[in-house]
């Protein structure tokens, strides 16, 4: 996305003369969704509106458009400087999509997942309204290095995965993410955590819902790690489950909720300690910013987790 970050941009075709509207739309489509070869529009009038919010490496694009079509082939794909992932929720209208050798028909409530590495064709059949999350493809690859291509491409409306993803997309679409305290990486991690639940759906049994709930809980934790008062009770309350059930979700994955929360905070501490831009910050200040108020306890659990002390981790930047 070609916006200064963080930034929000609102755009409409009626800001242009009639003969310029469709060309302006084609240009904006390339800004928001990578490089496309947009088909010629034969009708005299064309309406589209777009609202784009970019925050670090994460973006939210709200789009309305009249019927149109476009294609991404190898020549267009090669123009993109970064690989990205798009999670697209259809709100109104219908769209046909061909991704690789697969065809999809999308209607209200359906979610489409596509990435910038594959050839693609879209055709909007009737006036369309959708919301898309744009994030680095590497986020998905790092979660599932061997299975990322197995993530579902279409998630049917009203399925368990669709309900969770729709809630997250709606929440982001209805607020200005640029004004939030979250970072782009937090928003991306939460999206990918929910998306990870779509892998190998056909082989899943009655444990599917618990697995999705666990991923939802983990995404909430990752999105709120900078809250030093974050507790297991608060995590359970916000996710509308009991504290006992929270422990059960993690136990079935052979871990504990407390250990997961601590491990993620320790990872953030190590990241900051190894960041040259934070060289001037005291180790204790970094620890406290991620919820560790006891210096001795922090040093002990940090060394147990990584095999080195916080001071030795900081020395790695020298």
Q: List the domain boundaries for the chain.
A: 1-165
Residue 202 has pLDDT above 50, yes or no: no
Q: Is the dihedral of CA 109, 115, 118, 122 positive or negative?
A: positive
Residue among 288, 212, 245 nearest 232 (CA): 245
Fold exhibited by the domain 1-165: Jelly Rolls (2.60.120)
Name which of 34-38, 46-50, 157-161, 169-173 the model is least confident about.
157-161
Q: What share of the chain is helix, strand, coil (3-state, %, to 5)?
A: 45, 25, 30
Q: pTM, whole model, 2 decimals? A: 0.61
Number of H-type helices and E-type strands within the chain? 12, 10
At 176, is the pLDDT very low, low, confident or very high (cuts 50, 70, 90)?
A: low
- The pLDDT > 90 percentage for the chain reads 53
At 204, is the pLDDT very low, low, confident or very high (cuts 50, 70, 90)?
A: very low
At 3, is the pLDDT very low, low, confident or very high (cuts 50, 70, 90)?
A: very low
For the chain, what is the largest distance between any 2 Cα atoms, rounded to a whole number of angstroms?
A: 71
Residue 292 has pLDDT above 50, yes or no: yes
Residues 207, 32: Cα–Cα separation, whole Å:
37
Say if strands 69-72 and 111-115 run parallel, antiparallel, or are unpaired.
unpaired
Name which of 76-85, 103-112, 118-127, 146-155 the model is least confident about.
146-155
Name which of 1-10, 24-33, 144-153, 265-274 the model is least confident about.
1-10
Token pair recorded at residue 309: 């002390």
Buried b (16+ CB within 10 A) or exposed e, 94-107: bbebebeeeeeebe
Report the mean per-residue pLDDT for the chain: 87
Q: Which residues contact 42 (CB under 8 A, 6 or more apart)?
A: none
DSSP state of 181: S
Residue 224 has pLDDT above 80, yes or no: yes
Helix residue ranges per DSSP H, the chain: 18-33, 74-77, 137-143, 160-173, 184-195, 208-223, 232-238, 243-251, 257-273, 283-289, 295-306, 310-315
């Amino acid at each position: 996305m070609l916006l200064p970050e963080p930034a929000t941009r609102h755009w409409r075709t009626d800001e242009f003369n009639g003969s310029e509207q469709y060309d302006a739309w084609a240009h904006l489509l390339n800004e928001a969704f990578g490089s496309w070869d947009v088909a010629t529009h034969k009708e005299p009038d064309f309406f589209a509106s777009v609202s784009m919010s970019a925050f670090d490496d994460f973006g939210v694009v709200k789009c309305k458009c009249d019927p149109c079509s476009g294609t991404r082939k190898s020549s267009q794909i090669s123009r993109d400087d970064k690989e990205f992932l798009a999670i697209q929720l259809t709100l109104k209208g219908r769209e046909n999509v061909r991704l690789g050798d697969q065809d999809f028909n999308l209607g209200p409530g359906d979610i489409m997942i596509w990435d910038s590495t594959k050839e693609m064709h879209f055709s909007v059949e009737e006036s369309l309204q959708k919301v898309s999350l744009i994030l680095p493809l590497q986020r998905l690859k790092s979660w599932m290095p061997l299975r990322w291509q197995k993530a579902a491409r279409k998630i049917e409306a009203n399925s368990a995965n669709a309900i969770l993803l729709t809630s997250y997309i709606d929440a982001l679409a209805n607020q200005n993410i640029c004004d939030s305290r979250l970072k782009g990486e937090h928003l991306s991690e939460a999206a990918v955590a929910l998306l990870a639940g779509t892998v190998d759906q056909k082989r899943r049994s009655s444990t599917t819902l618990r697995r999705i709930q666990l991923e939802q809980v983990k995404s909430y934790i990752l999105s709120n790690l900078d809250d030093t008062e974050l507790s297991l009770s608060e995590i359970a309350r916000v996710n509308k489950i009991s504290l006992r059930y929270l422990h059960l979700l993690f136990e079935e994955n052979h871990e504990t909720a407390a250990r997961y929360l601590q491990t993620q905070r320790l990872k953030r501490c190590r990241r900051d300690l190894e960041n040259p831009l934070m060289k001037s910050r005291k180790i204790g200040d970094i620890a406290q910013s991620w919820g560790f108020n006891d210096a001795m306890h922090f040093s002990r659990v940090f060394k147990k987790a990584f095999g080195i002390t916080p001071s030795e981790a900081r020395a790695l930047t020298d």
